[in-house]
Structures are given as C-alpha cells and as structure tokens.
C-alpha cells in the first residue's frame, strides 16, 4: 500500500491511485490553487470521512511501494482535476476504463445527512 501523508494524517491508497492523486496535488500547488481533499476513513478506524485543506504551506509526502513511475490515465486525471476544482474539492473516484469517453460524468456523490 502506498501512503500519502498530509500533516499528521496518513491516507493508504494503492500505488496507481496515489500516482494520480499526487499528479493532481502537484498541478494544483504549482498553479498556487489551494483546495480541499476529502477521503473516507477505513471502518477499522471508526469510518466516516476527513477533509484537509491543501495549500503550498501543507506538509505532504507521497510514498510508493513500486519503484518505477507508472503511466497515468488522462481521463482519470481529468475527472480528479474536475473534482479538485469544484467547491467540494478533490475526492477519490474509481479509475474509468480505457475506452470510457473523457467527458463522461463521474458517479454522483452520495448525499450527506
């Protein structure tokens, strides 16, 4: 499992997902665009979700199990960037299939009570 550390929070993701999330974070920070990143907490840790404000002053680190960089899915990056640019901020989405149209809508976000 790869690990994304944001301040004191550690998010465990598979390497492929983290590679895409890292690309979004780097792009947003390079553009000086702070944003919110929200992820779900594992049920073993009490479930729920966490949102963190990501800005150039955020201390973050991405650690991968794989040594070699992997190719990135442009359609997935586009969808992740779209969420990062929205008022709700970056959230994890499933990787679209290689033959999915790039302008296809991502799954609707579940309603929060």
pLDDT of residue 99: 66
- Domain assignment present for residue 109? The answer is no
pLDDT tens per residue, range 28-53? 999 999 999 999 988 887 889 999 99
- Domain assignment present for residue 99? The answer is no
Count of domains forming the chain: 1
Sequence-distant contacts of 48-53: CB under 8 A, at least 24 apart: 50/9, 51/89, 52/6, 52/7, 52/9
What are the Cα distances from residue 69, in Å, to 17, 23, 33, 113? 12, 12, 25, 39
- Domain assignment present for residue 77? The answer is yes
Of 31, 25, 34, 32, give the one whose Cα is nearest residue 5: 25
pLDDT of residue 76: 97
- Domain assignment present for residue 24? The answer is yes
- Domain assignment present for residue 112? The answer is no
**Cα 60 from Cα 51, distance rounded (Å):** 14
pLDDT tens per residue, range 53-89? 999 999 999 999 999 988 999 999 999 999 999 999 9
Determine the structural domain holding residue 10 and report its residue range.
2-91
């Amino acid at each position: 499992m790869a690990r994304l550390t944001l301040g004191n929070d550690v998010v465990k993701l598979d390497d492929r997902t983290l590679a895409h999330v890292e690309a979004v974070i780097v792009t947003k920070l390079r553009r000086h665009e702070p944003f919110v990143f929200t992820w779900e907490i594992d049920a073993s840790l009490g479930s729920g979700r966490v949102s963190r404000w990501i800005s150039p002053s955020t201390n973050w680190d991405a650690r991968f199990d794989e040594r070699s960089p992997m190719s990135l899915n442009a359609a997935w990056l586009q969808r992740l960037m779209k969420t990062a640019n929205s008022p709700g901020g970056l959230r994890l989405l499933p990787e679209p299939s290689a033959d999915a149209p790039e302008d296809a809508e991502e799954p609707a976000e579940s309603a929060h009570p």
